[in-house]
Amino acid sequence: MAKTVKGSLYEDLKRKILTMELDPDADLDEASLSERYGLSRTPVRDIFRRLAGEGYLDIRENRGARVIPMNHATLRNFFLVAPMVYAAVGRLAVQNYKPVQFADLKATQERFRRASQEMDALAMVLENNRFHEIFGEMSANVYLQPSLGRLLIDHARIGHTFFRPRNDDMRRRLDLAVEHHDGFIEALGAHDEDAVVDLVFEHWELSRENMEMFIAPQGMKSDAQLGAPATPSLEKSS
């Protein structure tokens, strides 16, 4: 029972971080989580340490745990490095994947497709994240997997609005993302490294614009644009 409750706490915190229910840099209250889940402080701290090791939390001495922050340096590094890591992971996945992983990828894609059709934003975030996690597992590379895991956390947090399309163009782009996933599966099945890498960059470009819109949204109209009287210029008295 205790193991199940610990697992629930782990999954709940992970989900809330990925879906931005917990804001970047938010402090976690160890005491309230212990009470809510009926756990002592020790297993809660174990979960914090596990999530910190996976890149979700930052544990500060004498200050407790917080959700990993997103700042200017984080975002700059994310946009510089993400496509390179995704491409390397994709190429290694073709070389090393196992049949059970391929079956898991296809099953995850079907859940992602269903969530897309039902416009279930939460499920889309989680299934999309899982789809790309499986690529990391397929790569079987102890150096790249941690990097991919860290990138996917911020990819989910920055791009979560992608799964809440507000217009027909965003809906079209979401449908294209589903098609890209199908393309990844087909290319993996054909052991076509170049096709996987080409799709990585297409898929990256598709999500990059939407993430940039989230980071730098269109500004509000100025008072002058809204029809308010313009501020009079200062004229020198005669």
* Dihedral (CA of 13, 139, 121, 83) sign: positive
Give pTM, 2 decimals.
0.82
| pLDDT above 90 for 145 | yes
Higher per-residue confidence, 89 vs 224: 89
pLDDT at 213: 66
The pLDDT assigned to 214 comes to 63
Q: Where in the chain is the domain with CATH 1.10.10.10?
A: 2-67
pLDDT digits (tens, 9 = 90+) for 22-49: 999 999 999 999 999 999 999 999 999 9
What are the helix (H) ranges across 97-189?
Answer: 99-118, 121-139, 144-158, 168-189
The whole-number average pLDDT for the span 42-70 is 93
Question: Which residues of the chain form CATH 1.20.120.530?
Answer: 72-215
pLDDT at residue 166 above 60?
A: yes
C-alpha–C-alpha distance, residues 238 and 7, integer Å: 78
CA–CA distance, 151 with 135 (Å, rounded to integer): 13
Region 164-170 average pLDDT: 78
Report the amino acid identity of residue 14.
K
**What does the pLDDT read at residue 236?**
43
Helix (H) or strand (E) holding 67: strand 64-67
Across the range 38-66, mean pLDDT stands at 93
Average pLDDT, the chain: 88
- The CATH class that applies to domain 2-67 reads mainly alpha
CB contact at 8 A, 78 and 124: no
- 221 or 83, which is more confident: 83
Residues 72-215, CATH architecture:
Up-down Bundle (1.20)
Stretch 164-171: mean pLDDT, rounded?
A: 79
Q: What is the per-residue burial (b if ≥16 Cβ within 10 Å, else e) of 149-180? A: bbbbbbbbbbbbbbbebeeeebeebbeebbeb
Q: Tell me what pLDDT residue 76 has.
A: 87
Q: Is 233's pLDDT higher than 50? A: no
